[in-house]
Amino acid sequence: MIKAVIFDLDNTLIDFMKMKNLSCDAAISAMINSGLNVNKEKAMKELFSLYDKHGLEEKRIFQKFLKKMIKKIDYEILASGIVAYRRVRAGFLEPYPHVTETLFELKTGGIKLAIISDAPRLKAWIRLVSMKINHLFDAVVTFEDTKELKPSMMPFKLSFKKLEVEANECLMVGDRPERDIEGAKNLGMLTCFARYGNPKAKYSGADYEINDIKELLDIVE
């Protein structure tokens, strides 16, 4: 019997990569308008190569970007990029379709809800509060809580402790087979792959796959 559903956050509840792409596009355009002499398409490729190297949550990504592109930090250009990035990011923090109502139905049906995110604690909470779904979760586990990234067992075990449930009573929902699904399966959890968040994945290895989060309601029943 499923007593709890544990969710990944980015690309499971929020379309994180769409937000990242739109925010970065705005940032590059703003930096070019402020005097950065680069080709925009090339600049986007260079920026995301830095994200690949340093992680999507790297705080000083635009400083690293400017050092790579022009060998120095021009603070007017830097500020222009950061302001544009934050403006677009703040306006896009919306959940996928049917997320809010699905979470509410699960909650009112007596299912405990949790988040396990590899994101930094403050950023995860900002996303949840911005989407106005923070109050629906019984537990939120972020990177700082264990200093371990999925598929490490530590974040999962901490969520079980907070929820007061056993692994075999939990369903894990996520978009990364190698992190969310593998980590959960290693502990004996049921797993559900959010294909809408990672449509290019060929094989998830999950017990269930969904194309819309509302499909969870039938799985839990």
Provide the mean pLDDT of the chain: 96
For 95, counting Cβ atoms within 10 Å of its Cβ (0-12 exposed, 13-18 middle, 19+ buried), the class is buried
Q: What is the pLDDT of residues 4-46, one digit of tens each?
A: 999 999 999 999 989 999 999 999 999 999 999 999 999 999 9
| Cα 168 to Cα 124: distance, rounded to the nearest angstrom | 26
All structural domains of the chain, each given as residue ranges with its CATH number in brackets, are: 4-15+95-220 (3.40.50.1000), 17-92 (1.10.150.520)
Q: What is the pLDDT of residues 116-170, one digit of tens each?
A: 999 999 999 999 998 999 999 999 999 999 999 999 999 999 999 999 999 999 9
Preceding amide of 177 cis, omega within 30:
no
| Cα 210 to Cα 197: distance, rounded to the nearest angstrom | 10
Q: Which two tokens stand for residue 45?
A: 């490729």
pLDDT for the residue numbered 122: 94
pLDDT for the residue numbered 91: 82
Closest by Cα among 142, 106, 216, 110 to 172: 216
pLDDT for the residue numbered 93: 83
Q: Where are the beta strands (DSSP E) in the chain?
A: 4-7, 112-116, 139-141, 170-174, 190-194, 208-210
